[in-house]
Amino acid sequence: MQPKRNFFLNFSEIKLTYHPRIKVADRILVKNQEAATAVLRESWDSGLINLKEQFKIILLSNSCHVMGIADISSGGFDATSTDLRLIFATALKARSNNLILAHNHPSGSLAPSKEDVLLTQKIIEAGRVLHVTISDHIIMTSEGSYSMCANDLM
């Protein structure tokens, strides 16, 4: 006779948790492109910004305080694959309803590609369904930054 199996041990446990480490009053406030760029500069590995393309998100609270920065993808010399599910899973888990997208161009060019603009539009549309606002998409290089929002591409 086989031992009785516990039904609840036949699948994975899914658990959502959130552990903020910093009081809201102590978080950095991001109200413009310059503040967002400063946060990104501080967090970007300077040894990688000219080497490989990476995609990150800044997670913001309702009051535009930085809740965190998440690395979404890391690719090759001139491209990285960005999974929208990972962006929004991260935002929802962190309880962030406001995001700033960011990626770097190792080539040094600040000009957004057609693919950059299309991806941004796709993320904005997905965000509308989930009530997550995309405030900006910033392209970073070691020498400067480019805001799609400030240049009316969003």
User: In this predicted model, what pLDDT tens digit does every residue of 102-119 receive, in sequence order?
Assistant: 999 999 999 999 999 999
Please give the residue that has the higher pLDDT: either 2 or 140. Answer: 140
Query: In whole angstroms, what is the distance from residue 128 CA to residue 99 CA?
Result: 12
Q: How buried is 140 (Cβ within 10 angstroms: 0-12 exposed, 13-18 middle, 19+ buried)? A: buried
Domain annotation for the chain: domains and CATH numbers = 27-147 (3.40.140.10)
As a whole-number percent, the residues of the chain with pLDDT over 70 amount to 88
- On the question of pLDDT at 6 being above 80, the answer is no
Q: Look over the chain and give the mean of its residue pLDDT values, rounded to a whole number.
A: 89
pLDDT at residue 23, rounded to an integer = 77
pLDDT at residue 83, rounded to an integer = 93
CB 33 within 8 A of CB 136: yes
pLDDT at residue 18, rounded to an integer = 64
Query: In whole angstroms, what is the distance from residue 27 CA to residue 47 CA?
Result: 26
Which range has the worst mean pLDDT, 3-17, 53-67, 91-105? Answer: 3-17
- On the question of pLDDT at 12 being above 80, the answer is no
If you search the block for the tokens 């480490």, which residue do you land on?
21
* Angle formed by the axes of helices 84-93 and 114-130, nearest 10°: 40
Cα–Cα distances (Å) from 117 to 54, 58, 62, 94, 149, in that order, read 16, 18, 25, 26, 11
- Give this prediction's pTM: 0.84
CB 14 within 8 A of CB 42: no
> What are the pLDDT digits (tens) for 64-108?
999 999 999 998 888 899 999 999 999 999 899 999 999 999 999
